[in-house]
A and B are shown apart, each in its own frame.
Chain A
Amino acid sequence: MDKKELIVTALENGTVIDHIPAAKLFKIVSILELDKIENRVTIGNNLESKMMGLKGVIKVADKFFQPEEINKIALLAPSARINIIKNYEVVQKTDLQLPDQVSGLLQCVNPMCVTNRQPVASRFDLIDRKRGTLRCHYCERMLNLSEIILK
């Protein structure tokens, strides 16, 4: 093996987030605050995928996300797949579920909303899981997943 090649495939324990649309990868890195943790993180993007053309992959060693943490990804990449690795084996594959409530992550599209006018953290409640409709907890404006703006 060439000395310069990095070992990225083998993860002893941790989480692999696969099938991320390439355009969403770095947003997901930021949502999960992977820039702030000390675990070994491997990020691959624009990798070839039979299923989706180009995809991104994130591997985080020795980290197992809480459901409410990982489900935030569903806002951006509902098709992403979460693989839990233990002792080099995939022990669990999890489908993402839209969270019932999203706090502080999204910006309300309504410029007159109190969360855009006063120092108030945004909060959205999931109203319709099937359609992916959220409602601002404060101004009650409805929001579709296609319209969301990250803070």
Chain B
Amino acid sequence: MKTNGLVSISDCSKEDLLRIVELAAQFEQHPMPHLLEGKLVATLFFEPSTRTRLSFETAVQRLGGRVIGFSDAATSSSSKGETLHDTIKMVSNYVDLIVMRHPIEGAARYASEVAGVPVINAGDGANQHPTQTMLDLYSIKKTQGRLEDLTISMVGDLKYGRTVHSLLQALQYFNPTFNFVAPPELRMPEQYRLFCEEKGLKYREETDLNAVLKTSDILYMTRVQQERFTDPVEFEKVRNTYTLRNDMLAGTKDNLRILHPLPRITEIAEDVDNNPKAYYFEQARNGVFARQAVICSILGLV
């Protein structure tokens, strides 16, 4: 992994990914409450994302590090018109590491080029959110015992869902079989289908969730987000089509686990929560360990 931070999954080699997954397991098994003592991390959230911010801040604080930052651009100087360049330059003076969420795509790459300290991308618009992918990989490894040769079904918004795009890129090294389940409006973009073809990754496209349930090892559900639709009627139509209910899980593989980057709205019914195959809350917990692995790896502490 490049020492100037973690901006995109496309910068990560197979070895980088395996190392983070391995380190995440170590952090889970052996908490190291003093590893980040004396370190200060900035969490700059130019758009709110409570879940991601809390996960990063938990990761840092449980290792003994401290956090400064803001959780909304409205409370930062960018609301006064300061450029991203100047904000990053200023914050670089204060901290050892910057964790940044920004609605503009490519903002993290740019920040990593102007910052004097490493930058971790905590989401840049529809582009990348690499630590989500790290925790997804860790969750897959933990539940399946391996990353290789799995059937991974991605469901919901495959057009705008950056988590599925990054996960797809990361899984290229592990001989996956993909099922892409989405309404035609939200199907997997051509760019990623071509990617699969070039890398020789097996995939098929489905519009019916039931068609893939019995063969899947991992069911990766995503939220169909209202902000992706200009037409609210279109949104309503699509939203309820891809809801997973507990009765649909009868006859699925024992090792099947259901992942979701959260927050879930209607795409997983609440009666699924008590099924042992539901894994999305543990998945969120894994995020803390995966982020600890990324942070300490970038800072050269592990």
* Contacts from A to B (Cβ < 8 Å): 110, 112-115, 117-120, 136-142
A112-B105 in contact given A139-B125, A140-B10 (Cβ < 8 Å): yes
B106 partner, pick from A115, A119, A142, beta carbons under 8 A: A115
A114-B85 in contact given A138-B110, A139-B125, A140-B10 (Cβ < 8 Å): no
Tell me the bound Cα distance from A109 to B42 in angstroms. 31
User: B85 and A139: CB pair below 8 A?
Assistant: no
Residues of A contacting B109 in the complex (Cβ-Cβ under 8 angstroms): 114, 137-138
Residues of A contacting B84 in the complex (Cβ-Cβ under 8 angstroms): 114, 118
B50 within 8 A of A: no
User: B128 and A113: CB pair below 8 A?
Assistant: no
Tell me the bound Cα distance from A120 to B106 in angstroms. 10
A118 partner, pick from B104, B124, B125, B128, beta carbons under 8 A: B104
Residues of B contacting A137 in the complex (Cβ-Cβ under 8 angstroms): 106, 109
B44: shortest Cβ distance to chain A, in Å? 14
Tell me the bound Cα distance from A83 to B229 in angstroms. 52
The prevalent SS among residues of A at the interface is loop
Residues of B contacting A142 in the complex (Cβ-Cβ under 8 angstroms): 191
Within B83-141, the residues touching A (CB, 8 Å) are 83-85, 103-107, 109-110, 124-128
Using an 8 Å CB-CB cutoff, how does the interface string of B264-286 with A read, 1 for contact, 0 for none? Answer: 00000000000000000000000
Residues of B contacting A117 in the complex (Cβ-Cβ under 8 angstroms): 104
A139-B106 in contact given A112-B126, A118-B83 (Cβ < 8 Å): yes
In the complex, what residue of chain A is closest to B126 when comparing beta carbons?
Answer: A112
B52 within 8 A of A: no
Shortest 10 CB-CB distances between A and B: which pairs? A138-B106, A139-B105, A114-B106, A139-B106, A112-B105, A117-B104, A114-B107, A138-B109, A114-B104, A114-B110
User: A119 and B85: CB pair below 8 A?
Assistant: yes
B88: shortest Cβ distance to chain A, in Å? 11
Tell me the bound Cα distance from A140 to B110 in angstroms. 12
Residues of B contacting A114 in the complex (Cβ-Cβ under 8 angstroms): 84, 104-107, 109-110, 124
Q: Could you give 25 example pairs across A and B, Cβ below 8 Å?
A: A110-B105, A112-B103, A112-B104, A112-B105, A113-B105, A114-B105, A114-B109, A114-B124, A115-B106, A118-B83, A118-B84, A118-B110, A119-B83, A120-B110, A137-B106, A138-B107, A138-B109, A139-B106, A139-B124, A139-B127, A140-B8, A140-B10, A140-B105, A141-B105, A142-B191
A100: shortest Cβ distance to chain B, in Å? 17
Residues of B contacting A112 in the complex (Cβ-Cβ under 8 angstroms): 103-105, 125-126
B21: shortest Cβ distance to chain A, in Å? 23
Residues of A contacting B8 in the complex (Cβ-Cβ under 8 angstroms): 140
In the complex, what residue of chain A is closest to B8 when comparing beta carbons?
Answer: A140
Residues of A contacting B127 in the complex (Cβ-Cβ under 8 angstroms): 139-140
Tell me the bound Cα distance from A137 to B110 in angstroms. 9
Tell me the bound Cα distance from A110 to B103 in angstroms. 13
B12: shortest Cβ distance to chain A, in Å? 14
Tell me the bound Cα distance from A142 to B195 in angstroms. 12
Using an 8 Å CB-CB cutoff, how does the interface string of B66-85 with A read, 1 for contact, 0 for none? Answer: 00000000000000000111
Contacts A114-B110, A138-B110, A140-B105 supplied; 4 other A-B pairs, CB < 8 Å: A136-B106, A139-B106, A140-B106, A142-B191
B118: shortest Cβ distance to chain A, in Å? 18
Residues of B contacting A138 in the complex (Cβ-Cβ under 8 angstroms): 105-107, 109-110
A128: shortest Cβ distance to chain B, in Å? 9
A141: shortest Cβ distance to chain B, in Å? 8
Tell me the bound Cα distance from A51 to B195 in angstroms. 37
Which of B10, B106, B109, B125 has the largest count of A CB atoms less than 10 A from its CB?
B106
Tell me the bound Cα distance from A13 to B127 in angstroms. 49
Residues of A contacting B104 in the complex (Cβ-Cβ under 8 angstroms): 112-114, 117-118
Residues of A contacting B191 in the complex (Cβ-Cβ under 8 angstroms): 142
In the complex, what residue of chain B is closest to A114 when comparing beta carbons?
Answer: B106
